[in-house]
Structure 1
């Protein structure tokens, strides 16, 4: 596959938008950008290309030309990476202190044969690898339900009761149980509907037509009205003749109850499975877990992230990553479906730091963190070692000032980690994407997060959306800064990125203004960030 070529319309777009630079994009132009945009739009600039990219190409042509950067190791904590991909194999980190395949921990770092990274979701013998997990909400609901099985939960202390109620609100499994209870109660009310119809039509054969002709007297009872409507829907759905006896629809009750119970039981079985039991089996206290298998069929997410950060810029195939002097260190703690475990995330951060990573990308998250203290300690460890962590803000369309998305940059103490950048997602026309989380106090900045084209498993390429792809855009730019200006600390790099964002005029944006829903109020700008980094580096010489 040849390197990306911009179509002719893209070359002409800046000319078409000269007038729009004063008035913003029309609805028609926004639709056009959604449907037709350069595959590498996140590398482009609004001034020259008519899209709100990050100015990476401009930075290379005007600021970095003729300069030589230093190698920077970027850990990609994710779902694994296709380390044999044609556009990634030359930039994958290699642990030169480890002898491949000898079954010995040559460098004494606690991990056997970790030649290119580590998989915390596998057994030591490599025979078992977790490829499916449930949500943390459901895992916690199962755990707490067992813990409190023979206790009166109303008598729990205030903190425990508050947390248990939070888990029940968030857990889909808890909702399934509530649905079963509701459906069972509703089904029992079919008898009440039957008695009512017999009262209205005494000594008559009551047909389905009666359901349509009768206005129920229980109009204020929402559950009864819902059940009444469901009976009519069942009759319509099964195309029953209106002359048939109405009691043929009453089979809905047992059907609803059976379906609801089966659904709950299936979710319960799934949520009760603990793949980590096999992974952790036989471990001695303090012993590390996992294996060195990094590439899986479902590693598209991590492979895509890795490509955005550092796909080979020197070959003539595929895509161009943002940073040109990086080594990607894959660390696997995520599966495409289900939530990561706090213990794995904490270990992964420490592994990255201890093995030389200067940046960590974390394009994952969840809404509960039962062992947050472990992750806090790991982030604090990275902070002390001057490692910058970049994370996606999440894709729940939520205000994370109110609804925390973990792992969080805020420690349990309330203090904020100075080495963490939280990234929301924007469109080609510079507005927040509808799925992106936001927060005036919890989201630092935004980055392109719509249809970014990058590497996929098996030598393939595709586009993806999400704050998961916005995060590696920022991480790649941060890697550029640390590569060309290595004396700058992690907090300094973060401050540079925050100070140099592109501010889209508020009148050009829809209801959600970036200025009101993030700390910096703008979109990361590689060109301006590198320019400021150069100026600050001169001052500190």
Structure 2
């Protein structure tokens, strides 16, 4: 998805907690951004790489006040010895050899690497750094395709899936063709303008100063000038288009291909929850498919202040990779078993940056969520990227069993923020919901780790959830006596409020108060969360 540059505008009424607790955390003054001069210039590349850690009152960017927390809180409570926290990352695989992650990867000290023996008797052989429930599989169908292939035409899911399939397939085919045509036009216009301008790399200013000498050059100039409204450079634009073509090609070849069988290579029965002897200990998997999980892991805990790359949200964290999510829809069985694996092997926070809209074995996952709750483990889950109201559309997994009350108090659903404060504050792609989304956090154009020591901007609620998982991990590190349900409430109650009417569902004509976009009506804020956690831990505040 392309991103227009930010013009921060509007006003905010922030709710900041004041007071100190048992650890002498500094007072937090009441602040109101109405009194702050708002930025009106586009964010630089450096600012974009860091915006999710910024402070809204100081920077007028709806970040999580991460730097402020480290400067004003963590430096002030150095006498506390935080308890290391394991964060289970259920995802596509993680490059555990990445320069910014290798020192924060969980190691199972009770397992002897490479001896082919289940030393710790946990049911997984040589799971030194986690487990891979996908084996060598990478691509998968969408769940609706699997439902159609099973042919249970009497079920409601079958009828709905069948009705949706043709629309999705035709949409993917049309989008692939459209992206290919745009890329061809951009490439031709770019080649012409390189010759006309006498340079390979040119800017919007170059185009504005250029006087076309032919109708073809004039058309190319007009087309590329429009493109610069969406990307910083022609190279970035081509990259976006190529990734779009790849995405829709994968949909046609794998996700929506009724004849594709991605599971047979795994060697299990995905409809039998008791068939658990599958998978392996290769938590990276295919590096090409590990980008998403590696990016998520970096947001949570890329090694801080090591002089390279970027800083994750959380210090004192170990990342437990659990490879669960293919290119396509995950299987309910893998999700349920992955949650249980993370819980049984010491994770206190689990991040789930995935989701789907059909779930044949949803009860298995609900049971796993309840199991995690019984073991005091918090699950942080991405809300999804389809611009939908989750009060009207179910995305799985969720904690809303059969549309009743929440099944447990340990499940936190996160929507995505854009870096502009004001009407465009909610990311255009983000799902939302007054009852079924709990909070919002930064999720647009997030800079983080990618395989082979790379770094890249990605976006989605997939990026917002791990930011919150990092906040949860820090709370649990410094205040280990707080329960998962308390950590969830602290994160929800300590966030920043906003008076803005925001665009929801990416529709400029549909606006609601930000307070109605989620259950808490707030943006996650690490600085405030630590202060409230301190007060709750000291018994000065009851949730």
TM-score normalised by the chain length of structure 1: 0.72
Give CA deviations for 1:395-444 in whole Å, capped at 9, x if unaligned: 00000111111111212372312100000001112310100000010000
> 2:300 — aligned with what?
309
Q: 1:400 aligns with which of 390, 395, 410?
A: 390
Q: Which residue of structure 2 aligns with residue 458 of structure 1?
A: 452
Matches of 2:104 and 2:126 in 1, distance apart? 19
Q: What is the match of residue 40 of structure 1?
A: 50
Paired residue for 2:191? none
Q: CA deviation at 1:463?
A: 1.1
Shift of 1:172: 4.4
Are 2:420 and 1:429 equivalent residues in the alignment? yes
Matched, 1:418 2:409: yes
Residue 69 of structure 2 corresponds to residue 59 of structure 1? yes
Residue in structure 2 matched with residue 499 of structure 1 by the alignment: 493
Q: Name the residue aligned to 1:378.
A: 368
> Are 2:140 and 1:136 aligned?
no
| Cα shift at 1:169 | 2.8
Matched, 1:330 2:321: yes
1:487 match: secondary structure: coil
Mapped to 2, the partners of 1:443 and 1:495 lie a distance apart of 13
Question: Which structure 2 residue ranges, 5 or more long, are not aligned?
Answer: 1-5, 13-31, 174-249
Counterpart of 2:538? 538
SS at match of 1:37: helix
Partners of 1:447 and 1:523 within 8 A in 2: yes
- Whole-angstrom distance in 1 between the partners of 2:484 and 2:161: 35
479, 483, 492: which one pairs with 1:485? 479
Distance 1:34 1:366, change over 3 A: farther
Q: CA RMSD in A?
A: 3.1
Deviations 1:331-361, CA, capped at 9 Å, x for gaps: 01112x3111111000100000000000000
Q: Which residue of 2 aligns with 1:214?
A: none
Question: 2-side partners of 1:104 and 1:539: how far apart?
Answer: 47
- Cα 1:375–1:301 shift into 2, 3 Å: same
CA distance in 2, matches of 1:474, 1:349: 18
Matched pairs, number:
421
By how many angstroms is 1:23 displaced?
8.4
How far does residue 49 in structure 1 lie from its aligned partner after superposition? Answer: 2.1
User: TM-score scaled by structure 2?
Assistant: 0.72
Confirm or deny that 1:104 pairs with 2:104. no
Displacement after TM superposition at 1:50 (Å): 2.4
**TM superposition shift of 1:100:** 0.3
Distance 1:266 1:418, change over 3 A: closer
Distance 2:256 2:415 in 1: 35
**For residue 319 of structure 1, what is the aligned residue in structure 2?**
310
Q: Structure 1 residues 140, 318: closer, same or farther in 2, change over 3 A? A: same
Return 5+ residue gaps in structure 1 as ranges: 1-9, 123-128, 149-155, 180-262
Question: In the superposition, relative to structure 1, how do residues 264 and 135 fare at CA in structure 2: closer, same or farther (>3 Å)?
Answer: closer
Give secondary structure in 2 for the equivalent of 1:32. Answer: coil
**Does structure 1 residue 21 correspond to structure 2 residue 33?**
yes
Pair 1:415–1:25, CA change in 2 (3 A)? farther
The aligned residue for residue 88 of structure 2 is 75
**What are the residue-to-residue correspondences of 1:291-302 with 2, within 5 Å?**
291-295=280-284, 296-297=286-287, 298-302=289-293
Larger Cα-atom Rg: 1
Give the direction of change, closer, same or farther, for the CA distance of 1:508–1:379 in structure 2 (3 Å limit): closer
